[in-house]
Structure 1
């Protein structure tokens, strides 16, 4: 189960990359939808960083005797 938590942040990174690509692709046609995808990109990047920080914190806590 512990290995699962080490790989989940990278799923957020993949979703952020897909959302950024989609935002660029629809920028000229539908700017409102592009802003939505930019918001999703920012949220996923935040979650990526938060999950990495949280995993490091939990590992440090579990190593202490």
Structure 2
């Protein structure tokens, strides 16, 4: 279960990196089209941080219950 949570963290990070790449490519062509990718990048980074904190808390709780 914890490995699955770790993979979803990095999935959000990958979406953020792809969105930032698309922002860099599309900004000079059509800045209005990049707003959706800015939104995806911000939400993905936020979800990455949230999921990481949640996973660490879950690991600590699991470790405390085993002791």
Same fold (TM over 0.5): yes
Instruction: Give structure 2 stretches of 5+ with no counterpart.
Output: none
Q: Which residue of 1 aligns with 2:54?
A: 54
Instruction: Give structure 1 stretches of 5+ with no counterpart.
Output: none
Shift of 1:61: 1.0
What's the Cα RMSD here?
A: 1.1
The CA deviation string for residues 14-49 of structure 1, in whole angstroms up to 9 with x for no partner, is: 110000000110102211111221111011000000
Q: Provide the rounded CA distance (Å) in 2 between the counterparts of 1:2 and 1:28.
A: 41
Q: Which residue of 1 aligns with 2:4?
A: 4
The alignment partner of 2:36 has SS state of helix
The alignment partner of 1:29 has SS state of coil
Shift of 1:2: 2.9
Q: Which residue of 2 aligns with 1:24?
A: 24
